[in-house]
Amino acid sequence: MKTLTNEAGNIDLSEEIIEMVKWLGTACGRDAVIGAVQKSQSEVEELNKVRQVERDQLNIPITL
């Protein structure tokens, strides 16, 4: 992995990213990722309910 630096040029971000990726390989990391995927999916399901237009809404007279 490339060595990454922030804008100030004095913090080595590559170590931090390597640590983040390493953490994924732990049981805790794996469980957290599975949790994040499930949470995102359930939130998208909630959004889909909002995005749905009900049949009665299609027949509302728009008259004003």
Partner 1 sequence: MSENTAYHVIPYSRDALTDCLVENSKATHDTVVNKLHLTYFSEYFTNLKAGSIVVEKNYVDHDYLEDYAAYYVRCFEKYERSTKRLHFFSKKFSEQQFRECLTDSDAALSETLLQECYIGFVVVKPLPKTIIGRTCLKTYPSDNGRREFPILREFSVSLFGLSLKIDSLAYQEQDTVVAACATSALWSCFQGSGKLFQHAIPSPVEITKAATRHVPENLPANSARALPNAGLTATQMAIAIRDVGLEPYILGTSDPYVLNGSMYAYLRGKIPSVLAFRLTDVLSDSNGSNVDREMGAHAVTVTGFSLGKDKPEPGPNGFLLRASRIDKLYAHDDQVGPFSRMVWSQSPRNRSYLKTSWKGVGSVEAIPIFLMLPLYHKIRIPFEIIHDAIHLVDSILETMRHGRKEASPSLERPEWDIYLTTVSEFKVNFLKSMKPMLGAQVEKTLTVALPRFLWRATARCGGECHLDLLFDATGIAQQKLLVHVVAVKPEIPALISGFADFYKSRNDIRLNNVQAEAIFDWFSTTH
The answer to whether 33 touches 24, Cβ cutoff 8 Å, is yes
| Token representation of residue 8 | 């100030």
Total residues at interface with partner 1 (CB under 8 A) = 47
Q: For the chain, what's the residue count? A: 64
Supply the minimum distance, in Å, between the C-beta of residue 38 and partner 1: 10
Token pair 């009900």 is at which residue?
Answer: 54
Contacting partner 1 within 2-61 (CB under 8 A): 2, 4, 6-7, 11, 13-14, 16-21, 23-25, 28-30, 32-37, 39-41, 43-44, 46-48, 50-54, 57-61
- Least distance in angstroms from the C-beta of 14 to partner 1: 7
Distance, in Å, from the CA atom of 53 to the CA atom of 60, rounded to the nearest integer, reads 11
